[in-house]
Structure 1
Amino acid sequence: MRFFASALILSLSLLSHPLGAQEPARPQSGPKDQTQPARPKPPRPSSLDELFERLGKAQSEREAEGIASLIERRFSRSGSDTADLLLSRAAQAFGKKDFPLAIELIDRVLTLQPNWAEAWYKRATVFYQLDDPVGAMADLHRALTIEPRHFNAWTGLGHILMASDDKARALLAYRKVLEINPQMDDVKTIVTKLTPEVDGQDL
């Protein structure tokens, strides 16, 4: 699923300071001031909390997609080069539809980084492809316990609940997505359609 501002470095020229002239017709300049102006510090990258705050205030789907992409990049980093590499290889296996290998690799990732929400989310995706919605839901709940703002995990949970015809709880999951990312038009469409269907039902 996709988003950092590049630092702008200002170039300042040195000032020259002319000294007294030896000959009126040919004034001589003294040496230039060699003092270098201090370079401005590059802007501090936004924290994850700040990115989520910006996501909630985004004014268009395009703006929200850019911020969501930055959040997803943060989610994809575990802090362990080994775990990141293994998850990358799992993604390659997933792309080749080698789902057993993908599961094996992600299992190794979770042994190294059991509190990495993204790894639980990725394994849930593989389980769903293996027609194991129970395993997928369990992993999505683990991901959301670690990172309750994981909008992709909430979306996946909504899809699984819809597939099992649990429309009431699916609607709750989709509404949670919109609390985090109000500009997801496809989810808004689903919520608009589901709301009258589940209205009045006991949750």
Structure 2
Amino acid sequence: MRRFRISLLACGLAAVLVAAAPDARAQDGGSRAPHSTETATDGRIDQLFARLAQTESAAEARGVALLIQRRWLESGSPTADLLMNRAREAMRARDPALAIELIDRVLVIEPGWAEAWNRRAIAFTMLDDPVSAIADIYRVVSLEPRHFAAWAGLGNLLMQAGDERGALESFERALAIHPHLPRIETIVGRLAREVDGVEL
């Protein structure tokens, strides 16, 4: 019963998120809220996203996506970066509670750092807390609507909660940004058939 109630709450939050979050395909780069280093709006990361959209192979896309993710991990604050490194170590050690505690401190310093919210969402997912994870994903895509990993993570959470239509919409948003996300295209094809009876 508890898991059922959590699933309903997660679906409700996610429905609001998918409906209200900016569509990454419509972004022109000028309306996103940057953190202190303005990584969300600087020209270099915009160029990387343009390259990502034009990649012709999974290998090429993987390389460009890695460069984007490295940019996302730059907060502009040495203290925040140090705390985030410790949080990442905690997650690798399968200690998401410690990771959340560390990222909470990061967010006091850099509340506009989209990747910090994303990492905390991952930690909440590890703790089987989908409601908190989805709430953090909302913050991620509000700050950086092109965060393909956050959209993919939301899709996975919604699939687990039984919201196939919401999952499909989230995965489609992720693919609109990163056209070669591993396994996502296959999942989208299956979900489209299940939700709408569409053959892709």
TM range (shorter): 0.7 to 0.9
Structure with more contact order per residue of length (Cα contacts < 8 Å, sep ≥ 6)? 2
State the TM-score, normalized to the length of structure 2.
0.76
Task: Give the percent of matched residue pairs that are identical in Structure 1 and Structure 2.
Answer: 51
- Name the residue aligned to 2:148: 151
Larger-gyration structure (1/2)? 1
- Name the residue aligned to 2:98: 101
- Name the residue aligned to 1:36: none
For residue 171 of structure 1, the aligned residue among 150, 168, 171 is: 168
Return the alpha-carbon distance in structure 2 between the equivalents of residues 59 and 46 of structure 1: 22
User: What do the CA deviations read for 1:37-76 (whole angstroms, capped 9, x no partner)?
Assistant: xxxxxxxx97111100000000100000000000000000
Return the alpha-carbon distance in structure 2 between the equivalents of residues 58 and 133 of structure 1: 32
User: What do the CA deviations read for 1:133-162 (whole angstroms, capped 9, x no partner)?
Assistant: 000000011001000000100010000000
For residue 116 of structure 2, the aligned residue among 109, 112, 119 is: 119
Return the alpha-carbon distance in structure 1 between the equivalents of residues 76 and 176 of structure 2: 28
Q: Tell me the number of residue pairs that the alignment of Structure 1 and Structure 2 aligns.
A: 157
Query: What is the root-mean-square deviation in Å for CA atoms of aligned residues?
Result: 1.6
- Name the residue aligned to 2:177: 180
Structure 1: unaligned runs, 5 residues or longer: 1-44
- Name the residue aligned to 1:79: 76
Return the alpha-carbon distance in structure 2 between the equivalents of residues 50 and 189 of structure 1: 27
- Which structure dedicates a bigger proportion of its chain to helix? 2
Structure 2: unaligned runs, 5 residues or longer: 1-41
State the TM-score, normalized to the length of structure 1.
0.75
Q: Which amino acid is 1:170 matched to?
A: A
For residue 161 of structure 1, the aligned residue among 144, 158, 161 is: 158
